[in-house]
Structure 1
Amino acid sequence: MTDTHPHNSSARVTLLTMVLALGGLLFGYDTAVISGAVASLDAFFIQPRQLQPFEANSLLGITVSCALLGCVIGSGLAGWLSHRLGRKPVLIISAALFFVSALGSAVPEMGFLPIGGDEAHLSLTQFFVYRILGGAAVGLASMVVPMYIAEIAPPAIRGRLVAFNQMGVVTGIIVVYFVNYVIALQGGQDWNQSMGWRYMFASETLPALLFFGLLFLVPESPRWLALRERPAEAKSVLAQLHGKKMAAREFEAIDNSIHNHSHKLMSYGLPVLVVGICLSVLQQFVGINVVMYYAPEIFKTMGSGNDSAMLQTIIVGAVNVVCTLVAIATVDRFGRKPLMIFGALGMGVAMTSLGLCFYFDSLGLNALMMMLLYVCCFSLSWGPVCWVLLSEIFPNAIRAKALAIAVAAQWISNYLVSWSFPIIDRHESLVALFNHGFAYWIYGGVAFAAALFVWKLVPETKNRSLEEIESLWAPHARGNRGAAPTPERVAQPGSF
């Protein structure tokens, strides 16, 4: 095989990345499909139980966010599974779980109660199980897809390619917003509460089947093959992707990285784990998934009707997609830190202002513009760029384990935020004092703290190979048997 021209190499890796980004699309689709069904699930599962307001709101929060428990489980297992089985088999398992979850969530009473019968609302436990399985699929994909892309991407375009995963996520979100909107238009409120929500969940079976089939055409990660002492296969995959000459140099760097360090989780010290976990937690505590999951309900709080709220949700999704495209185009040019800091400050301003809109009852266009500004700032920064950083900063020898912990922390945080929002937003005392504005002020404060964290503690990784990024943590490494990196290759965490 002759050496691959750089442009051909980039095209080949980009095509492979687009296939993998279907995992991101399913991630977004599965997590956002619930947004169009919140009111229907409330009417179908919660209201027939005739609970007290706090109990009903808490159960609704659990119903909406139960998939996140699966995300925690899936992301927690993803490190061990991807280390033992490889990246590709884990993604195949994920695709299968997406399909089972979509079908089961649509008809949770199947096999237990008559479908659509008078007691169908008693199948809430089964609904939880299927949503948790879907969450496990999301947890697996959310960790393995960006890790795999980072492991095959050339340094010069790695940020852009890893951000494709987030592009898949936001595409899945806007697609399901549109699908939910079209389904909701097929009948009135009663039909949506009895049948419409079922079609919303069932629609996910189609992209799940597509992802499952295409994964059989994807090679295994060369860095995993090297880690499992399969050098010939690793070199073969690298040669297919980058050409023989570049593959030889890259394999040598990978091999040195793997064999010059202990594979123990703490072999690079605590700082790299702390940075990764904090990035994950802050990405959720800024409140993004409150917007993604509860957008139609938020717009109803602003005074919109059901159809108008669903349409405004599509506008939010469109802004999400457009601004993510901007992030993909700029992340390798401007760097990770500037985008993250700018985005966090913008989110802080937007969330604080949105809270003020609710507090002063100045809703309508003002509140919508603040919501769109918030989504724009997140999509330019903490949406795609956080995943880029998480896929890059962990050294080869511990990447699967460390990334699994960071992503699990992200899903735990996601669950806490999503579960707590309806409780905070509907709390009678807080509504009386702040008119639904209190939760948004919390998220705004976290966004300002996130900007400070990135400025002070997160290293810039632009234009560095994964092995060069590994050297950023060399002063904290334990069991390093290789030569110390040269000073010019080590960037201080607080610098751009």
Structure 2
Amino acid sequence: MTTAGSRRTFTEVATIYAIIAAIGGFLFGYDTAVISGAIGFIRQLFGLEPAMEGWVVSSLIVGATLGAAVSGFLSDRFGRKRMLILSALLFIVGAIASAIPSTVAELIVARMIAGVGVGMASTLSPLYIAEIAPARNRGRLVSIYQFAVVTGIFVTYFINAAIVRFGDEAWEINYSWRWMLGFGVVPGLLYLLLLLRIPETPRWLMKQKQEVAALEVLERMNGREAAKSELHEIVNLKEGKEASVTELLRPGLRLALIIGVVLAVLQQITGINAIMYYAPDIFKQAGTGTNAALLQTVLVGIVNFVFTLVALWLIDKVGRKPLLVVGAILMAISLAVVGYAFQAENVSGMLILFFILLYVASFAVSFGPVVWVMISELFPTRIRGRATAIASFSLWFADFIVAQTFPILIHRRTGIGPAATFWVFAVIAVVAVIFSAAVVPETKGKSLEDIEKMWVRK
């Protein structure tokens, strides 16, 4: 008989493994935030034009898109754990190379290498957690990944600020950005060392017909009786059988693929990383001074951090779908008001700040964590790696489009201006409300096998 104390022990084991895997999200968050502090100095040192500046920012995203694209096939073949270890190695190499370039081309290549690692981790970290987590805690545990992302963003703002204080203006331009980018070696090494301590996922082990090893891991997660029951479910669904990507185009699973890809794209094109990458520039456009803009950017990081904690508490209580719908409604309202504030004359910059913070809070409790949870749990194990990779590839590609186009769109002379840009994001958020309400299923409390059966019945 499983006691309350033993159940708590099993949950603790799963949580430890989830936290280790989620450090890949910290690497994602680190690179999201570090470039916002470094790009100004890189611009001055190399005399970057706007298009090249956007390319330096988005080069990591290009690498991440490639990493996401190959991660599914590689993890299905070689295992989730091994590919997570490879992602950590790539991030370490990329961080070192980013600290020592003498040309912009070398910097771009270095960031692409790091990006491949980040893209692989962004796909495989949530997938790994979903495959080792008990159903009752899966939403919360997978959400740790998004919490790690925002923690990386939050911490990096302070790391950047601390590094800048070490020297004068000349030192800042020539060296501070190198320390900012190179400091990524620290979380990369930590990630690598801790990954060596975690097991392979039981569902991948079953694909390789390693039933004894799979049962041993399941017992660590859920206890002996629950482990036997879960293993029985996996066996009944023939999880060890290989499947091709074309299976995703069959009725039922085709809908799962559409939901995963659309949610991934909507997460990005509602504008979150436009704010994360370019927050200081947005606040300056609202008439805020440089120092105040940097302070307001820190507030964005704090709100993102706090409300992601709220999401960890809510996701297995309220469910995925309600969070998506309510969050998207608040995002749409916030973006519309920000657009109005930029359009109207004599509107306080504090109004823009308030609604950007409301937007970030709404995203942090909804599309931020929930999308990563859902794309990690929607698909059958025999195809989960490749299907999750398709969704993650779509997410990173959408992120690249936003990163490249936002500086052009927001420019008042060469683009449509900040007001129209935020209104476009608001319209997309309305689409997100409709899609979430009408198409997205609720997966709260369901085992991965129950979710697979749901698609089989369709």
TM-score (norm 1): 0.88
User: Counterpart in 2 of 1:388?
Assistant: 373
1:357-396 to 2 correspondences below 5 Å = 357-361=341-345, 362-396=347-381
Q: Which of the numbers 56, 65, 88 marks the counterpart of 1:63?
A: 56
- Return the alpha-carbon distance in structure 2 between the equivalents of residues 184 and 301 of structure 1: 23
1:164-183 to 2 correspondences below 5 Å = 164-183=144-163
- Return the alpha-carbon distance in structure 2 between the equivalents of residues 30 and 257 of structure 1: 39
- Return the alpha-carbon distance in structure 1 between the equivalents of residues 143 and 399 of structure 2: 20
Distance 1:366 1:189, change over 3 A: farther
User: Counterpart in 2 of 1:489?
Assistant: none
- Return the alpha-carbon distance in structure 2 between the equivalents of residues 108 and 37 of structure 1: 14
User: Counterpart in 1 of 2:29?
Assistant: 28
TM-fit CA distance, 1:46: 3.4
TM-fit CA distance, 1:89: 0.8
User: Counterpart in 1 of 2:119?
Assistant: 139
Question: Are 1:41 and 2:42 matched, yes or no?
Answer: yes
Q: Counterpart of 1:473 in structure 2: which amino acid?
A: W
User: Counterpart in 2 of 1:338?
Assistant: 322
Q: Which of the numbers 105, 112, 124 marks the counterpart of 1:125?
A: 105
Q: Which of the numbers 81, 85, 103 marks the counterpart of 2:78?
A: 85
Question: Are 1:397 and 2:379 matched, yes or no?
Answer: no
Q: Counterpart of 1:79 in structure 2: which amino acid?
A: G
- Range with bigger deviation, 262-271 or 224-233: 262-271
- Return the alpha-carbon distance in structure 2 between the equivalents of residues 260 and 17 of structure 1: 23
User: Counterpart in 1 of 2:9?
Assistant: 8
Question: Contact 1:26–1:169 at 8 Å: present in 2 too?
Answer: yes
Q: How many equivalent pairs are there?
A: 452
User: Counterpart in 2 of 1:277?
Assistant: 261
User: Counterpart in 1 of 2:223?
Assistant: 243
- Range with bigger deviation, 368-377 or 352-361: 352-361
TM-fit CA distance, 1:290: 0.6
Q: After superposition, what is the alpha-carbon deviation per residue over 1:171-230, rounded to whole angstroms, capped at 9, x for unaligned?
A: 000001111122223345443222211111111111111111111111111110001111
- Return the alpha-carbon distance in structure 1 between the equivalents of residues 203 and 240 of structure 2: 15
SS in 2 for 1:458: coil
User: Counterpart in 1 of 2:455?
Assistant: 473
- Return the alpha-carbon distance in structure 1 between the equivalents of residues 363 and 127 of structure 2: 21
Q: Counterpart of 1:271 in structure 2: which amino acid?
A: L
- Range with bigger deviation, 306-315 or 197-206: 306-315
Q: Which of the numbers 82, 98, 108 marks the counterpart of 2:101?
A: 108
TM-fit CA distance, 1:240: 2.2
Identical-pair percentage: 41
- Range with bigger deviation, 75-84 or 239-248: 239-248
- Return the alpha-carbon distance in structure 1 between the equivalents of residues 281 and 168 of structure 2: 17
TM-fit CA distance, 1:417: 0.6
TM-score (norm 2): 0.95
Question: Contact 1:181–1:311 at 8 Å: present in 2 too?
Answer: no
- Return the alpha-carbon distance in structure 2 between the equivalents of residues 189 and 297 of structure 1: 20
> Rg bigger for which structure?
1
- CA RMSD in angstroms, aligned pairs only: 1.8
TM-fit CA distance, 1:258: 3.0
Gaps of 5+ in 1: 48-55, 110-122, 477-496
User: Counterpart in 2 of 1:151?
Assistant: 131
1:296-335 to 2 correspondences below 5 Å = 296-335=280-319
Q: After superposition, what is the alpha-carbon deviation per residue over 1:311-354, rounded to whole angstroms, capped at 9, x for unaligned?
A: 22111111001100000001011000000011111111111111
TM-fit CA distance, 1:453: 0.4
- Return the alpha-carbon distance in structure 1 between the equivalents of residues 155 and 330 of structure 2: 26
- Return the alpha-carbon distance in structure 1 between the equivalents of residues 270 and 168 of structure 2: 35
Question: Contact 2:134–2:221 at 8 Å: present in 1 too?
Answer: no
Q: After superposition, what is the alpha-carbon deviation per residue over 1:350-407, rounded to whole angstroms, capped at 9, x for unaligned?
A: 1111111111242421111011001000001000011111111111121011000010
Q: Which of the numbers 414, 422, 445 marks the counterpart of 1:463?
A: 445
SS in 2 for 1:171: helix
Q: After superposition, what is the alpha-carbon deviation per residue over 1:86-119, rounded to whole angstroms, capped at 9, x for unaligned?
A: 111111111111111111112113xxxxxxxxxx
